[in-house]
């Protein structure tokens, strides 16, 4: 096979190689089976994998997950690590929605406890968690000083303000706040955009989903995570909102200048980057970490309002309902981590763009409660089928810098999805399948029709069989609040 001018070689049932050629400094490594690779080849995302392999200081291969699709600069579903002395940082390897991520809450409620009250519950969630383009809470307007504190403290700020429980912080990636945030590196425009959007869902593929545990694949891991067959769960999927978007937009301009200044040859202007040793990189990392912390605070506050909504509908405290946080993971991030490269342990800068950290059992960064089974991983599917909970593995740590996929991956553009949904009542179709939708607009629902995505079962099947994640349980939706 060829991908543009690149050969695509099959390594085994679940791995493909784009061999190093021309300006590439390393191979591309793609995780997919025969069927998924056909879908992946429909866009230019494999070309993006090859382009990333040309960036200075890249360590190991340029990696693509089975949910890969075309993105800005890096493909969505792309992972790459860079040497701290010779390598670069690229905003296109993090994305516009910095720390877009997912948290999962579990409950002691069973499906039967919720079904009869589901319409009221979905109405409460929709009212308490504003969604849609420009969504904001009318009762929250932070000062610029407050926003700076959110950038520094992340979910810890939210807990300190009464949003959630202190023990939540033990089950958030990085404890809910990445060190090294520098609010002074964030533009006033970005800070202004962050004043009213914290605690909101946003638009696009963001959502809050009430579901339940269907099939359990690993009893030990499920028990460690507090998941039981038939028990009700809640996903919260959102990121850093307008603040993160503005940070990315601001620094893309900076990085274009930096690439020219430092003589970095780009295969794609969207991969603009600066050396990790540069002042431009320091400032971007300070701003990016702040935006990531804003996203952690955003999801922490939404988790609080999820608990509040359940309390209002069921007349019991969140504690009595067992509404505990399972975990919260980032999907769009760049972080300094220790990994083995060429048999030697070294610190590298890992870019995960639409990819999830997947650390193995025993790793010190895995919460103690889960250290025997590995870090929880959440792979949402489309709103009409199912999602999956997995745990991290040694295979992921050794082969993908401790990374795995983050979702199903789109097969249709939003415009194409709207055309496909024309003349249909998607909300009614889903209601007929027992799934209630609350959304800011019908257009949003049409953009997110189930058939716009790959079947997430196929995606996580590759992850599980390739050994870069281990399936724990399947979750099925009952109700979804869409942006």
- Please list the active-site residues: 406
98: its two tokens: 């910095």
**Share of the chain residues as helix, strand and coil, in percent rounded to the nearest 5:** 35, 25, 35
Question: Please, are residues 88 and 281 in contact by the beta-carbon 8 Å criterion?
Answer: yes
| 455 Rama sector, left if φ>0, alpha if ψ -120 to 50, beta otherwise | beta
Q: Tell me whether strands 6-7 and 9-12 are parallel, antiparallel or unpaired.
A: unpaired
- Cα–Cα distance, 131 to 122 (Å, whole number): 13
Q: What is the DSSP string of 36-92?
A: HHHHHTTSSHHHHHHHHTTSTTEEEEEEEEEEEE--SSSPEEEEEEEETTT-EE-GG
Contacts of 140 (CB under 8 A, 6+ apart): 196, 198, 199
Question: Please, are residues 479 and 438 in contact by the beta-carbon 8 Å criterion?
Answer: yes
Measure Cα distances from 68 to 351, 353, 459 in Å.
15, 10, 10
Question: Please, are residues 360 and 435 in contact by the beta-carbon 8 Å criterion?
Answer: no
Q: Count how many Cα atoms sit within 13 Å of the Cα of residue 447 in the half-sphere of its side chain.
A: 17
Detail the DSSP E strand segments found in 201-287.
207-216, 231-238, 274-275
- Cα–Cα distance, 83 to 391 (Å, whole number): 27
Q: Tell me whether strands 387-391 and 344-353 are parallel, antiparallel or unpaired.
A: unpaired
CA 414 to chain centre: 19
Q: For residue 377, list its beta bridge partners.
A: 390
Q: What is the tally of helices (H) and strands (E) in the chain? A: 15, 21
Cα torsion at 148, 149, 151, 154 (round to 10°)? -160
- H helix or E strand, kind and range, residue 435: none
CA 467 to chain centre: 20
Rg (CA), the chain: 21
Rounded to 5°, the CA angle 450-304-222 comes to 60
- Cα–Cα distance, 18 to 26 (Å, whole number): 9
- Cα–Cα distance, 109 to 154 (Å, whole number): 30
- Cα–Cα distance, 286 to 151 (Å, whole number): 10
């Amino acid at each position: 096979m060829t991908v543009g001018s690149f050969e695509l070689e099959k390594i085994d049932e679940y791995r493909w190689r784009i061999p190093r050629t021309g300006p590439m400094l390393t191979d591309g490594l793609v995780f997919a089976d025969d069927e998924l690779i056909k879908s992946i080849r429909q866009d230019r995302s494999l070309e993006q994998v090859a382009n990333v392999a040309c960036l200075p200081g890249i360590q190991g291969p340029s990696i693509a997950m089975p949910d890969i699709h075309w993105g800005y600069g890096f493909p969505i579903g792309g992972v790459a690590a860079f040497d701290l002395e010779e390598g670069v940082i690229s905003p296109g390897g993090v994305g516009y929605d910095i720390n877009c991520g997912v948290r999962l809450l579990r409950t002691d409620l069973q499906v039967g406890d919720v079904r009869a009250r589901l319409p009221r519950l979905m109405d409460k969630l929709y009212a308490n968690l504003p969604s849609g383009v420009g969504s904001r809470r009318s009762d929250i307007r932070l000062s610029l000083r407050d926003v700076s504190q959110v950038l520094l403290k992340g979910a810890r700020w939210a807990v300190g303000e009464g949003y959630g429980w202190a023990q939540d912080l033990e089950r958030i990636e990085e404890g809910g706040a990445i060190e090294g945030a520098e609010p002074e590196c964030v533009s006033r425009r970005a800070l202004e955009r962050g004043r009213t959007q914290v605690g909101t869902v946003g638009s696009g593929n963001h959502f809050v989903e009430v579901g339940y545990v269907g099939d359990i694949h690993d009893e030990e891991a499920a028990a460690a995570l507090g998941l039981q067959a038939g028990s009700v769960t809640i996903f919260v999927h959102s990121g850093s909102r307008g603040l993160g978007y503005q940070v990315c937009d601001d620094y893309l301009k900076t990085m274009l200048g930096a690439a020219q200044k430092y003589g970095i040859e780009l295969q794609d202007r969207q991969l603009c980057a600066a050396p990790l040793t540069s002042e431009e990189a320091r400032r971007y990392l300070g701003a990016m970490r702040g935006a990531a912390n804003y996203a952690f605070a955003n999801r922490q506050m939404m988790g609080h309002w999820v608990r509040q909504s359940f309390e209002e509908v069921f007349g019991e405290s969140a504690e009595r309902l067992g509404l505990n946080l399972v975990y919260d993971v980032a999907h769009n991030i760049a972080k300094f981590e220790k990994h083995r490269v060429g048999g030697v342990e070294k610190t590298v800068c890992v870019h995960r763009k639409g990819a999830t950290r997947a650390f193995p059992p025993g790793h010190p960064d895995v919460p103690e409660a889960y250290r025997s089974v590995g870090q929880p991983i959440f792979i949402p599917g489309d709103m009409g089928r199912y999602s999956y909970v997995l745990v991290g593995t040694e295979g992921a740590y050794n082969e993908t810098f401790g990374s795995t996929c983050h979702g199903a991956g789109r097969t249709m553009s939003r415009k194409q999805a709207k055309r496909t949904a024309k003349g249909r009542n998607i909300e009614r179709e889903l209601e007929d399948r027992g799934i209630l939708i609350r959304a800011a607009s019908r257009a949003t629902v049409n953009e997110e029709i189930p058939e716009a995505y790959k079947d997430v079962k196929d995606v996580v099947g590759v992850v599980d069989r390739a050994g870069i994640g281990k399936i724990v349980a399947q979750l099925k939706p009952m109700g979804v609040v869409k942006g």
